Amino acid sequence: MPIFTFNLPDIGEGIAEAEIVAWHVKVGDKISEDQPLADMMTDKATVEMESPVAGIVTKVAGEAGDVIAIGSMLVEIETATD
């Protein structure tokens, strides 16, 4: 099965990193497209990240409170091929 890597998008002009506020999924969860994945906080706003694909979560970037760089892996999702 293919793995889709969802990288943290640029969620604010000039923002280099964001803090994971809360996860809405965990490894092993089956998710649908547009399902909330995590709440991410910058110095300007808190934004809910939604999944661009359906599948099963195989990896998450860290724990609540961790800071990750824009463009780095947020979630890996195993997608089905029909």
In DSSP notation, 49-73 reads: EE-SS-EEEEEES--TT-EEETTSE
Residues 6+ apart with CB under 8 A from 31: 25, 37, 51, 54, 55, 56, 57, 77
82: pLDDT strictly greater than 70: no
- The amino acid at residue 10 is D
pLDDT tens for each residue of 16-44: 999 999 999 999 999 999 999 999 998 88
User: Which residue, chain included where needed, has tokens 């110095």?
Assistant: 43
Q: What is the CATH number of the domain that holds 61?
A: 2.40.50.100
pLDDT tens for each residue of 40-76: 998 888 999 999 999 999 999 999 999 999 999 999 9
- How many structural domains does the chain have? 1
In DSSP notation, 11-39 reads: -STT--EEEEEEES--TT-EE-TT-EEEE
Is-above-0.85 flag for pTM? yes
Residue 47 lies in domain: 3-78
